[in-house]
Structure 1
């Protein structure tokens, strides 16, 4: 069994594929995790090959119940709100507090008991995965991510109406690719992505920590300005984030070109080490975001991987 398999990543598109042959799944709002089971020992790897096993002891215990000696499972660690919707903010608040309430939503099987499944069609991998998860018996910790076939547009509409993040559509007969591909495509109900934190502005209202975070994305290896976010924080979060920023303070901006946007005259710069997830309404013509709201930190993603996410055409509309 391989020590690590890089995860397959989905391409952001404008709308779900309209043609047949696609499986449509809910998009979860959590941490992507690859689970390795090897003769009773369980390890969880982030997409960047960071060992997160110690963060999810309850999930690791549940994985040991499946009827397999060796396996590599792909899925997402989540927590749900009172309506059963995955909540990234609730997940962040629960990290480091004993590991209660985490759920592993599993959606792919890469390796099983001596067999490399990466060239096996997705629909067959999922069939094997469901059987594997069912073998663990009744559990609230492990969940098989079911799919909907056909009418991706209706499935997406229903997901958005329920307040979910979006859907992921996957080509049913495709192999597993350890890269970003167009056999997996995602459609989001709202604009939301990761940004690099490059500094902050002090609060003019006496708030603890900071007034707003200065955001950036990488383009051709250079960090470029993408706006600021000053909402979505509790007072406690502001104080905690302020301490993190103090530890990575830097005298000069990390941007390739120092931004001249209004409100940055008193900016405090930091090393570009932290990644935040931010929801917003739209991109402006000058490359900044409008009406942003902080959702949480993404410790599972490297700053240099953060790019401006602009949706491509759906596979069904490409000639």
Structure 2
């Protein structure tokens, strides 16, 4: 197994032992090799859930990928089903081929780590743009299909144990994403101290369910949100660069204005965004409601096609971003699916035994 992300020192977080299932265990129902599987998504909560049925993993700062192996052929699909195999070079695909299976489908996240071992979305974008596959790492955290059997109906504990055994001692860019059975509050505290993005808590007794259904929960160290790029304000220092982005999100099917972001750009990124947005210019505002004069001042509107990841401190009373900073474009996200994520209250404790599941 490769080096796990630095979620917490060993003395404070107990990694899971691969004792839930053995390598000879047969789980899942016989099934033909499926097509693209819609990913399970995590619901944002204000604090991690508590109770023995929850395990906690590091929230990575990268691209969600579905790694697929079939008769020696490897493919990598984004969360929306786009085939990005050609973007990642041979090393990643070769590592998946080392898995002792004829057919497999794994869920994971592609990252590039900094010198401290933290995943960094900016470094990932830079590596992909440069065509440098050397630093790419794929952390896998779920096993959906294996050698003629669909594992999605099996509990998470069994799927992860089988995945961990499947990877065995494989070295290289494909690695098992460690989980922790310490209280979520402790794991999150350590993640935040290490300047990580946050954690994802998962119910160990549940099957794999596509979509956002409340059995995967995410707790963040800082507020981040994908938002739709709806326009820009030109730079005052250059005629071929942006000064800020005009952003929105969908609510009840309508595109709503959520403010601007004017920090987080290098000079190169500001020029690249200008070129990308100039090609998408439109004459009228794409928002459902007319903007007031302050919001519309100097704005040049574009087709709402691109998605940007934004880090911010909170929301104003009128629903606008506060102290926002640009993190990068999200090519793996569909603009029409971008909605505001508002934290829910954490899930109540509910022992697995009361639900008929196993720990």
1:172 maps to what in 2?
204
Q: CA offset at residue 261 of structure 1?
A: 5.6
Moved more, 260-269 or 217-226: 260-269
Q: CA offset at residue 262 of structure 1?
A: 2.1
On the 8 A contact 2:41/2:212 being kept in 1, the answer is yes
Distance 2:118 2:126 in 1: 16
On the 8 A contact 1:207/1:235 being kept in 2, the answer is no
Q: CA offset at residue 315 of structure 1?
A: 0.9
3-state secondary structure, aligned to 1:73 = strand
On the 8 A contact 2:243/2:262 being kept in 1, the answer is yes
1:61 maps to what in 2?
94
2:50 maps to what in 1?
18
Q: Match for 2:148 among 105, 114, 135?
A: 114
- Flag as ranges the 4+ runs of structure 1 deviating above 6 A: none
Q: CA offset at residue 305 of structure 1?
A: 0.8
**Residue 330 of structure 2 corresponds to residue 298 of structure 1:** yes
3-state secondary structure, aligned to 1:195 = strand
TM-score normalised by length of structure 1: 0.96
Report which of the two has the higher share of strand: 1
Q: How does 1:42-191 map to 2 (within 5 A)?
A: 42-57=74-89, 58-96=91-129, 97-134=131-168, 137-139=170-172, 141-191=173-223
Q: CA offset at residue 263 of structure 1?
A: 5.4
**Residue 272 of structure 2 corresponds to residue 240 of structure 1:** yes
1:200 maps to what in 2?
232
TM-score normalised by length of structure 2: 0.86
Q: Match for 2:285 among 237, 249, 253?
A: 253
Distance 1:243 1:146 in 2: 41
- Equivalent pairs, count: 316
On the 8 A contact 1:28/1:165 being kept in 2, the answer is yes
Q: CA offset at residue 118 of structure 1?
A: 0.4
Distance 1:42 1:204 in 2: 47
Distance 1:157 1:59 in 2: 32
On the 8 A contact 2:200/2:218 being kept in 1, the answer is yes
On the 8 A contact 1:201/1:210 being kept in 2, the answer is yes
2:314 maps to what in 1?
282
3-state secondary structure, aligned to 1:225 = strand
Moved more, 277-286 or 52-61: 52-61
Distance 1:150 1:20 in 2: 9
- Aligned residues: CA RMSD: 1.3
2:341 maps to what in 1?
309
In the alignment, structure 1 segments of 5+ residues that lack a partner are none
3-state secondary structure, aligned to 2:343 = coil
Q: CA offset at residue 297 of structure 1?
A: 0.4
When residues 116 and 156 of structure 1 are mapped into structure 2, their CA distance, relative to the original with a 3 A threshold, is: same
On the 8 A contact 1:201/1:264 being kept in 2, the answer is no
Distance 1:270 1:234 in 2: 21
On the 8 A contact 2:249/2:340 being kept in 1, the answer is yes
2:63 maps to what in 1?
31
Q: CA offset at residue 101 of structure 1?
A: 0.9
When residues 261 and 278 of structure 1 are mapped into structure 2, their CA distance, relative to the original with a 3 A threshold, is: farther
